[in-house]
Protein backbone atom coordinates (compact mmCIF):
# COMPACT_ATOMS: atom_id res chain seq x y z
CA UNK A 1 0.00 0.00 0.00
CA UNK A 2 2.92 2.31 0.76
CA UNK A 3 4.29 1.97 -2.78
CA UNK A 4 0.85 2.52 -4.28
CA UNK A 5 0.53 5.75 -2.30
CA UNK A 6 3.97 6.85 -3.52
CA UNK A 7 2.93 6.08 -7.08
CA UNK A 8 -0.27 8.12 -6.75
CA UNK A 9 1.70 11.12 -5.50
CA UNK A 10 4.12 10.76 -8.40
CA UNK A 11 1.26 10.57 -10.90
CA UNK A 12 -0.29 13.71 -9.44
CA UNK A 13 3.04 15.54 -9.60
CA UNK A 14 3.62 14.60 -13.25
CA UNK A 15 0.09 15.62 -14.25
CA UNK A 16 0.54 18.98 -12.54
CA UNK A 17 4.01 19.68 -13.98
CA UNK A 18 3.79 18.43 -17.54
CA UNK A 19 1.36 15.69 -18.59
CA UNK A 20 2.90 12.66 -20.30
CA UNK A 21 0.98 10.44 -22.79
CA UNK A 22 1.48 7.37 -20.59
CA UNK A 23 -0.86 4.91 -18.92
CA UNK A 24 0.22 2.74 -15.99
CA UNK A 25 -1.83 -0.44 -15.60
CA UNK A 26 -1.44 -2.30 -12.30
CA UNK A 27 -1.83 -6.00 -11.48
CA UNK A 28 -5.06 -5.15 -9.68
CA UNK A 29 -6.70 -3.79 -12.82
CA UNK A 30 -6.37 -0.21 -11.62
CA UNK A 31 -4.79 2.20 -14.08
CA UNK A 32 -3.43 5.74 -14.00
CA UNK A 33 -3.22 8.08 -16.96
CA UNK A 34 -0.43 10.62 -16.69
CA UNK A 35 -1.76 12.68 -19.56
CA UNK A 36 -4.47 12.75 -22.22
CA UNK A 37 -4.50 10.29 -25.13
CA UNK A 38 -1.81 7.85 -23.89
CA UNK A 39 0.32 6.42 -26.69
CA UNK A 40 2.08 3.89 -24.45
CA UNK A 41 0.80 1.63 -21.69
CA UNK A 42 3.17 0.18 -19.08
CA UNK A 43 1.90 -2.94 -17.36
CA UNK A 44 3.02 -3.54 -13.77
CA UNK A 45 2.29 -7.22 -13.03
CA UNK A 46 3.04 -7.24 -9.30
CA UNK A 47 3.30 -4.82 -6.39
CA UNK A 48 7.05 -5.24 -5.88
CA UNK A 49 7.69 -3.74 -9.34
CA UNK A 50 6.39 -0.37 -8.13
CA UNK A 51 9.81 0.25 -6.56
CA UNK A 52 11.05 1.15 -10.04
CA UNK A 53 8.67 4.10 -10.09
CA UNK A 54 9.59 5.63 -6.72
CA UNK A 55 12.42 7.69 -8.28
CA UNK A 56 12.21 6.80 -11.97
CA UNK A 57 15.06 7.40 -14.38
CA UNK A 58 16.17 5.64 -17.54
CA UNK A 59 18.28 3.15 -15.58
CA UNK A 60 15.47 2.03 -13.30
CA UNK A 61 12.87 1.91 -16.08
CA UNK A 62 15.29 0.13 -18.41
CA UNK A 63 16.24 -2.38 -15.74
CA UNK A 64 12.59 -3.06 -14.94
CA UNK A 65 11.86 -3.80 -18.61
CA UNK A 66 15.02 -5.82 -19.31
CA UNK A 67 14.60 -7.97 -16.20
CA UNK A 68 10.94 -8.62 -17.04
CA UNK A 69 9.39 -6.74 -14.11
CA UNK A 70 7.30 -4.51 -16.39
CA UNK A 71 6.08 -4.63 -19.97
CA UNK A 72 4.63 -2.09 -22.37
CA UNK A 73 2.24 -1.77 -25.28
CA UNK A 74 3.14 0.61 -28.09
CA UNK A 75 5.90 1.14 -30.66
CA UNK A 76 9.35 0.71 -29.16
CA UNK A 77 10.77 4.10 -30.11
CA UNK A 78 7.62 5.84 -28.91
CA UNK A 79 7.88 3.91 -25.64
CA UNK A 80 11.42 5.20 -25.15
CA UNK A 81 10.43 8.80 -25.93
CA UNK A 82 7.53 8.62 -23.50
CA UNK A 83 9.67 6.90 -20.86
CA UNK A 84 12.36 9.57 -21.20
CA UNK A 85 9.78 12.33 -20.87
CA UNK A 86 8.30 10.63 -17.82
CA UNK A 87 11.74 10.33 -16.19
CA UNK A 88 12.62 13.94 -17.00
CA UNK A 89 9.36 15.35 -15.62
CA UNK A 90 9.78 13.18 -12.53
CA UNK A 91 13.04 14.98 -11.82
CA UNK A 92 15.89 13.33 -13.75
CA UNK A 93 18.96 15.33 -14.80
CA UNK A 94 20.64 15.14 -18.20
CA UNK A 95 24.31 14.76 -17.28
CA UNK A 96 25.64 12.07 -14.96
CA UNK A 97 28.03 12.77 -12.07
CA UNK A 98 31.70 12.90 -12.98
CA UNK A 99 33.21 9.44 -12.46
CA UNK A 100 36.74 8.15 -12.21
CA UNK A 101 38.17 6.85 -15.47
CA UNK A 102 38.08 3.07 -15.83
CA UNK A 103 41.31 1.08 -15.93
CA UNK A 104 41.51 -0.57 -19.36
CA UNK A 105 43.68 -3.68 -19.45
CA UNK A 106 43.94 -5.99 -22.45
CA UNK A 107 42.02 -8.72 -20.62
CA UNK A 108 39.26 -6.40 -19.46
CA UNK A 109 38.88 -4.85 -22.92
CA UNK A 110 38.74 -8.28 -24.58
CA UNK A 111 36.01 -9.45 -22.22
CA UNK A 112 34.00 -6.27 -22.81
CA UNK A 113 34.25 -6.72 -26.57
CA UNK A 114 33.25 -10.37 -26.29
CA UNK A 115 30.20 -9.44 -24.21
CA UNK A 116 28.94 -6.93 -26.76
CA UNK A 117 29.97 -8.35 -30.12
CA UNK A 118 30.01 -12.10 -29.61
CA UNK A 119 26.26 -12.25 -29.11
CA UNK A 120 25.47 -13.87 -32.46
CA UNK A 121 26.28 -12.94 -36.03
CA UNK A 122 22.76 -14.01 -36.99
CA UNK A 123 21.33 -11.61 -34.42
CA UNK A 124 23.22 -8.60 -35.78
CA UNK A 125 22.23 -9.58 -39.31
CA UNK A 126 18.60 -9.00 -38.35
CA UNK A 127 19.04 -5.23 -38.22
CA UNK A 128 22.29 -4.37 -39.99
CA UNK A 129 22.74 -3.96 -43.75
CA UNK A 130 23.94 -6.95 -45.83
CA UNK A 131 27.60 -5.94 -45.37
CA UNK A 132 27.14 -5.98 -41.56
CA UNK A 133 28.35 -2.41 -40.98
CA UNK A 134 27.84 -1.69 -37.28
CA UNK A 135 28.66 2.02 -37.23
CA UNK A 136 27.16 5.35 -38.24
CA UNK A 137 26.02 5.54 -41.88
CA UNK A 138 26.42 8.61 -44.12
CA UNK A 139 23.24 9.98 -45.68
CA UNK A 140 23.65 12.28 -48.67
CA UNK A 141 19.92 12.47 -49.42
CA UNK A 142 16.77 12.29 -47.32
CA UNK A 143 15.59 9.13 -49.05
CA UNK A 144 18.85 7.18 -48.88
CA UNK A 145 18.37 3.60 -47.77
CA UNK A 146 20.50 2.20 -44.96
CA UNK A 147 22.36 0.04 -47.48
CA UNK A 148 23.21 3.02 -49.69
CA UNK A 149 24.18 5.19 -46.72
CA UNK A 150 26.53 2.57 -45.29
CA UNK A 151 28.34 2.18 -48.62
CA UNK A 152 28.60 5.98 -48.78
CA UNK A 153 30.12 5.97 -45.29
CA UNK A 154 32.79 3.46 -46.28
CA UNK A 155 33.68 5.50 -49.35
CA UNK A 156 33.62 8.75 -47.36
CA UNK A 157 36.22 7.36 -44.94
CA UNK A 158 38.49 5.89 -47.59
CA UNK A 159 38.26 9.03 -49.73
CA UNK A 160 39.14 11.23 -46.75
CA UNK A 161 42.16 9.01 -46.20
CA UNK A 162 43.17 9.46 -49.84
CA UNK A 163 43.62 5.69 -50.06
CA UNK A 164 45.56 4.74 -53.19
CA UNK A 165 46.08 1.43 -55.04
CA UNK A 166 48.81 -0.61 -53.42
CA UNK A 167 48.79 1.30 -50.13
CA UNK A 168 48.55 -0.60 -46.86
CA UNK A 169 45.54 0.09 -44.61
CA UNK A 170 45.07 -0.96 -40.99
CA UNK A 171 41.48 -1.06 -39.67
CA UNK A 172 41.46 -1.05 -35.86
CA UNK A 173 38.26 -2.73 -34.71
CA UNK A 174 37.30 -4.03 -38.14
CA UNK A 175 33.90 -5.44 -37.19
CA UNK A 176 32.60 -7.79 -39.86
CA UNK A 177 35.09 -6.53 -42.42
CA UNK A 178 33.12 -4.16 -44.64
CA UNK A 179 35.75 -1.40 -44.64
CA UNK A 180 38.72 -3.63 -45.46
CA UNK A 181 36.78 -5.35 -48.24
CA UNK A 182 35.81 -1.99 -49.74
CA UNK A 183 39.41 -0.78 -49.44
CA UNK A 184 40.69 -3.81 -51.34
CA UNK A 185 37.96 -4.25 -53.93
CA UNK A 186 37.20 -0.64 -54.88
CA UNK A 187 40.35 1.28 -53.90
CA UNK A 188 42.94 -1.36 -54.77
CA UNK A 189 44.64 -1.29 -51.38
CA UNK A 190 46.06 -4.04 -49.20
CA UNK A 191 44.27 -4.23 -45.87
CA UNK A 192 44.65 -5.67 -42.39
CA UNK A 193 41.73 -5.71 -39.97
CA UNK A 194 42.05 -6.40 -36.24
CA UNK A 195 39.32 -7.27 -33.76
CA UNK A 196 38.97 -8.73 -30.26
CA UNK A 197 35.74 -10.52 -31.19
CA UNK A 198 36.13 -14.20 -32.05
CA UNK A 199 32.82 -14.19 -33.92
CA UNK A 200 33.86 -11.26 -36.09
CA UNK A 201 37.31 -12.69 -36.71
CA UNK A 202 35.96 -16.03 -37.87
CA UNK A 203 33.32 -14.38 -40.05
CA UNK A 204 35.85 -12.10 -41.79
CA UNK A 205 38.41 -14.87 -42.25
CA UNK A 206 35.84 -17.05 -43.99
CA UNK A 207 34.68 -14.17 -46.16
CA UNK A 208 38.28 -13.43 -47.20
CA UNK A 209 38.62 -17.07 -48.25
CA UNK A 210 35.28 -17.04 -50.11
CA UNK A 211 36.20 -13.84 -51.96
CA UNK A 212 39.68 -15.10 -52.85
CA UNK A 213 41.37 -12.07 -51.26
CA UNK A 214 43.95 -13.78 -49.05
CA UNK A 215 46.84 -12.18 -50.96
CA UNK A 216 45.56 -8.64 -50.27
CA UNK A 217 43.42 -8.92 -47.15
CA UNK A 218 44.07 -10.21 -43.63
CA UNK A 219 42.15 -10.34 -40.35
CA UNK A 220 43.72 -10.84 -36.93
CA UNK A 221 42.41 -11.49 -33.43
CA UNK A 222 44.61 -8.79 -31.96
CA UNK A 223 44.69 -5.84 -29.56
CA UNK A 224 45.73 -2.52 -31.07
CA UNK A 225 48.55 -2.39 -28.51
CA UNK A 226 50.03 -5.57 -29.99
CA UNK A 227 50.17 -4.69 -33.70
CA UNK A 228 53.88 -5.08 -34.49
CA UNK A 229 54.50 -3.30 -37.81
CA UNK A 230 55.73 0.12 -36.71
CA UNK A 231 55.90 2.44 -39.69
CA UNK A 232 54.24 -0.25 -41.77
CA UNK A 233 50.96 1.40 -42.77
CA UNK A 234 50.14 4.20 -45.17
CA UNK A 235 46.68 4.73 -43.65
CA UNK A 236 44.92 3.75 -40.40
CA UNK A 237 41.17 3.76 -39.78
CA UNK A 238 39.41 3.23 -36.47
CA UNK A 239 35.62 3.15 -36.71
CA UNK A 240 33.40 2.72 -33.66
CA UNK A 241 36.23 1.34 -31.54
CA UNK A 242 37.81 4.09 -29.45
CA UNK A 243 34.79 4.21 -27.12
CA UNK A 244 36.39 1.08 -25.61
CA UNK A 245 39.86 2.63 -25.24
CA UNK A 246 39.24 4.63 -22.06
CA UNK A 247 40.04 8.27 -21.34
CA UNK A 248 43.35 7.48 -19.62
CA UNK A 249 44.52 5.41 -22.59
CA UNK A 250 43.79 7.93 -25.33
CA UNK A 251 47.37 9.22 -25.52
CA UNK A 252 48.63 5.63 -25.69
CA UNK A 253 46.03 4.82 -28.35
CA UNK A 254 46.83 7.78 -30.60
CA UNK A 255 50.53 7.33 -29.98
CA UNK A 256 50.26 3.73 -31.10
CA UNK A 257 48.47 4.81 -34.30
CA UNK A 258 51.26 7.30 -34.95
CA UNK A 259 53.89 4.61 -34.46
CA UNK A 260 52.18 2.31 -36.95
CA UNK A 261 51.95 4.99 -39.65
CA UNK A 262 54.61 5.85 -42.16
CA UNK A 263 55.80 9.46 -42.21
CA UNK A 264 53.08 11.51 -43.89
CA UNK A 265 50.53 8.75 -43.21
CA UNK A 266 46.89 9.57 -42.49
CA UNK A 267 44.57 8.27 -39.79
CA UNK A 268 40.82 8.61 -39.39
CA UNK A 269 39.17 8.15 -36.01
CA UNK A 270 35.38 7.73 -36.09
CA UNK A 271 33.73 7.48 -32.68
CA UNK A 272 31.01 8.54 -30.26
CA UNK A 273 31.80 11.42 -27.91
CA UNK A 274 30.31 13.04 -24.83
CA UNK A 275 28.70 16.46 -25.19
CA UNK A 276 29.97 17.42 -21.74
CA UNK A 277 33.34 19.25 -21.60
CA UNK A 278 34.26 17.10 -18.59
CA UNK A 279 33.41 13.90 -20.52
CA UNK A 280 30.52 12.94 -18.28
CA UNK A 281 28.24 10.16 -19.46
CA UNK A 282 24.64 10.72 -20.50
CA UNK A 283 22.50 11.33 -17.41
CA UNK A 284 19.02 10.36 -16.27
CA UNK A 285 20.48 6.89 -15.74
CA UNK A 286 21.05 6.27 -19.47
CA UNK A 287 24.83 6.02 -19.11
CA UNK A 288 24.44 3.63 -16.16
CA UNK A 289 22.14 1.41 -18.21
CA UNK A 290 24.60 1.27 -21.12
CA UNK A 291 27.51 0.53 -18.80
CA UNK A 292 25.68 -2.30 -17.07
CA UNK A 293 23.88 -3.96 -19.94
CA UNK A 294 25.45 -2.90 -23.26
CA UNK A 295 29.06 -1.61 -23.17
CA UNK A 296 30.89 -2.65 -19.99
CA UNK A 297 33.69 -0.18 -19.19
CA UNK A 298 32.90 2.06 -22.17
CA UNK A 299 33.89 5.73 -21.85
CA UNK A 300 32.97 8.67 -24.07
CA UNK A 301 35.49 11.54 -24.20
CA UNK A 302 34.50 15.04 -25.24
CA UNK A 303 35.75 16.08 -28.70
CA UNK A 304 37.99 18.64 -27.01
CA UNK A 305 39.72 15.87 -25.07
CA UNK A 306 39.99 13.78 -28.23
CA UNK A 307 41.81 16.57 -30.07
CA UNK A 308 44.06 17.33 -27.12
CA UNK A 309 45.09 13.70 -26.64
CA UNK A 310 45.49 13.19 -30.37
CA UNK A 311 47.94 16.06 -30.40
CA UNK A 312 49.72 14.71 -27.32
CA UNK A 313 49.99 11.38 -29.14
CA UNK A 314 51.86 13.04 -31.98
CA UNK A 315 49.13 13.37 -34.62
CA UNK A 316 48.04 16.60 -36.32
CA UNK A 317 44.23 16.89 -36.54
CA UNK A 318 43.37 18.22 -40.00
CA UNK A 319 39.59 17.80 -40.33
CA UNK A 320 36.72 17.33 -37.88
CA UNK A 321 33.19 16.37 -38.95
CA UNK A 322 30.15 15.74 -36.76
CA UNK A 323 27.84 12.92 -37.89
CA UNK A 324 25.35 13.21 -35.02
CA UNK A 325 22.26 13.55 -37.19
CA UNK A 326 23.49 10.72 -39.40
CA UNK A 327 23.73 8.42 -36.39
CA UNK A 328 20.26 9.37 -35.20
CA UNK A 329 18.96 8.20 -38.56
CA UNK A 330 21.16 5.09 -38.60
CA UNK A 331 20.05 3.89 -35.17
CA UNK A 332 16.43 4.63 -36.03
CA UNK A 333 16.79 2.21 -38.95
CA UNK A 334 18.38 -0.38 -36.68
CA UNK A 335 15.76 -0.02 -33.95
CA UNK A 336 12.90 -0.35 -36.42
CA UNK A 337 14.46 -3.39 -38.10
CA UNK A 338 15.10 -5.13 -34.80
CA UNK A 339 11.57 -4.48 -33.58
CA UNK A 340 10.18 -5.87 -36.86
CA UNK A 341 12.30 -9.00 -36.36
CA UNK A 342 11.51 -9.35 -32.65
CA UNK A 343 10.28 -12.93 -32.84
CA UNK A 344 13.40 -14.17 -34.64
CA UNK A 345 15.64 -12.11 -32.34
CA UNK A 346 14.11 -13.71 -29.25
CA UNK A 347 14.64 -17.15 -30.77
CA UNK A 348 18.33 -16.40 -31.39
CA UNK A 349 19.40 -14.57 -28.20
CA UNK A 350 16.51 -14.92 -25.75
CA UNK A 351 14.05 -12.44 -24.30
CA UNK A 352 16.42 -10.53 -22.02
CA UNK A 353 19.12 -9.93 -24.63
CA UNK A 354 16.50 -8.85 -27.15
CA UNK A 355 15.09 -6.34 -24.66
CA UNK A 356 18.55 -4.95 -23.89
CA UNK A 357 19.31 -4.26 -27.54
CA UNK A 358 15.80 -3.01 -28.31
CA UNK A 359 15.99 -0.41 -25.52
CA UNK A 360 19.58 0.50 -26.40
CA UNK A 361 18.93 1.12 -30.11
CA UNK A 362 15.73 3.07 -29.48
CA UNK A 363 17.59 5.11 -26.87
CA UNK A 364 20.45 5.83 -29.28
CA UNK A 365 18.05 7.05 -31.96
CA UNK A 366 16.44 9.39 -29.44
CA UNK A 367 19.69 10.42 -27.76
CA UNK A 368 21.55 11.37 -30.93
CA UNK A 369 18.53 13.26 -32.23
CA UNK A 370 18.36 15.21 -28.95
CA UNK A 371 22.12 15.92 -28.77
CA UNK A 372 22.73 13.81 -25.67
CA UNK A 373 25.94 12.60 -27.32
CA UNK A 374 27.76 13.24 -30.57
CA UNK A 375 29.91 11.34 -33.03
CA UNK A 376 32.89 12.72 -34.92
CA UNK A 377 35.22 11.72 -37.70
CA UNK A 378 38.65 13.23 -37.06
CA UNK A 379 41.23 13.05 -39.84
CA UNK A 380 44.84 13.31 -38.69
CA UNK A 381 48.34 13.20 -40.15
CA UNK A 382 51.67 11.89 -38.92
CA UNK A 383 54.20 14.48 -39.93
CA UNK A 384 57.66 13.35 -40.88
CA UNK A 385 60.13 16.00 -41.87
CA UNK A 386 59.13 19.53 -40.82
CA UNK A 387 55.71 20.47 -42.14
CA UNK A 388 55.20 17.22 -44.04
CA UNK A 389 51.48 16.79 -44.80
CA UNK A 390 50.13 15.22 -48.01
CA UNK A 391 46.64 16.70 -47.84
CA UNK A 392 45.40 19.22 -50.43
CA UNK A 393 44.79 22.82 -49.37
CA UNK A 394 40.99 22.38 -49.41
CA UNK A 395 38.47 19.68 -48.64
CA UNK A 396 37.24 19.57 -52.22
CA UNK A 397 38.89 16.19 -52.79
CA UNK A 398 36.56 14.58 -50.23
CA UNK A 399 33.46 15.33 -52.31
CA UNK A 400 34.53 14.96 -55.94
CA UNK A 401 32.62 11.71 -56.32
CA UNK A 402 29.50 13.06 -54.59
User: How does pLDDT run across 158-171, given as a tens digit for each residue?
Assistant: 999 999 999 999 99
Q: In this structure, are strands 31-33 and 22-26 parallel, antiparallel, or unpaired?
A: antiparallel
Rounded to whole angstroms, how far apart are CA atoms 225 and 107? 12
CATH topology for 2-89 is Nonspecific Lipid-transfer Protein; Chain A (3.30.1050)
Tens of pLDDT, residues 25-82: 999 999 999 999 999 999 999 999 999 998 899 999 999 999 999 999 989 999 999 9
Burial class (CB in 10 A: 0-12, 13-18, 19+), 264: middle
What is the 3 state secondary structure string of 25-78? EECCCCEEECCCCCCEEEEECCHHHHHHHCCCCHHHHHHHHHCCCCEEECCHHH
Judge whether 364 counts as a catalytic residue: yes
> What is the model's pLDDT at position 297?
80
Q: Which CATH class is domain 106-399?
A: alpha beta
Give the residue extent of every domain in the chain: 2-89, 106-399
| pLDDT tens per residue, range 278-331 | 998 888 889 899 989 998 888 999 999 999 999 999 999 999 999 999 999 999
In sequence order, the 6+-apart residues with CB closer than 8 A to the CB of 349 are 119, 120, 123, 357
pLDDT exceeds 80 at position 230 = yes
Amino acid sequence: MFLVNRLEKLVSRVRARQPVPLRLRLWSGQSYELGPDPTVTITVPKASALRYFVAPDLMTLGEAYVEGHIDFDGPLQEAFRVGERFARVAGGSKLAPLKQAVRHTKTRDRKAIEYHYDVSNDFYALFLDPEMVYSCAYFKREDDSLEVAQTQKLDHILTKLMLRPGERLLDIGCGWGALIFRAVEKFGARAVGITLSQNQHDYVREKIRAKGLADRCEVRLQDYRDVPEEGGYDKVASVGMFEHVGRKNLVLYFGRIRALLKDGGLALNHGITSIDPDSRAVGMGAGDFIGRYVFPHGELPHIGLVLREMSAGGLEATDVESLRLHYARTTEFWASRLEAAAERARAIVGEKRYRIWAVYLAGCAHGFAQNWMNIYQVLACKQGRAGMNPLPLTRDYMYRSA
